[in-house]
């Protein structure tokens, strides 16, 4: 059984409430329940934090023993050299995910400190971006 973890960064705990025109009206917990049910032969865990250091700690914790990390570092994608360095330092492949098309938003969101060391990047498909990332590990 593949062991995957979805790691979400700041403000993603507000999905379903936050800017529904961009992020939709479904909470991440509701979405996660459907994904876990859809992929019964895959172990899918979830971690969310609004704190950069906690995200780094979690990536380091799982980065040598899981089959894949699906990382939506949210705003830290565009600002955190530390998270980018962490992704580079681990062995577990990382797929960078974004719900929105970051290239269709503010210019500062066009830069990612994660992409260069990720297995791939999926963005702009709403919550389905996570499912596409799961499928990339199967």
Distance of CA 60 to the CA centre of its chain: 15
Cα separation values, 102 from 39, 45, 75, 87, Å = 27, 25, 10, 20
Percentage helix, strand, coil for the chain under 3-state DSSP, each rounded to 5: 45, 20, 35
127 closest CA partner among 13, 2, 48, 35: 35
Tokens 């979690």 locate to 58
Q: Which sequence positions are flagged as catalytic?
A: 23, 98
Name the DSSP class of 3. Answer: E
């Amino acid at each position: 059984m593949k062991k995957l973890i979805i790691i979400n960064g700041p403000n993603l705990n507000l999905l379903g409430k936050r800017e529904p025109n961009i992020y939709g009206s479904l909470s991440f917990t509701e979405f996660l329940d459907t994904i876990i049910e859809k992929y019964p032969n895959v172990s899918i865990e979830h971690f969310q934090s609004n704190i950069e250091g906690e995200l780094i700690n979690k990536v380091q914790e799982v980065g040598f023993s899981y089959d894949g990390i699906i990382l939506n570092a949210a705003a830290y994608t565009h600002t955190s050299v530390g998270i980018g360095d962490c992704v580079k330092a681990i062995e577990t492949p990382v797929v960078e995910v974004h719900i929105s098309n970051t290239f269709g938003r503010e210019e500062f969101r066009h830069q990612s400190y994660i992409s260069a060391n990720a297995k791939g990047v999926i963005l702009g498909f709403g919550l389905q971006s996570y499912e596409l990332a799961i499928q990339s590990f199967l």
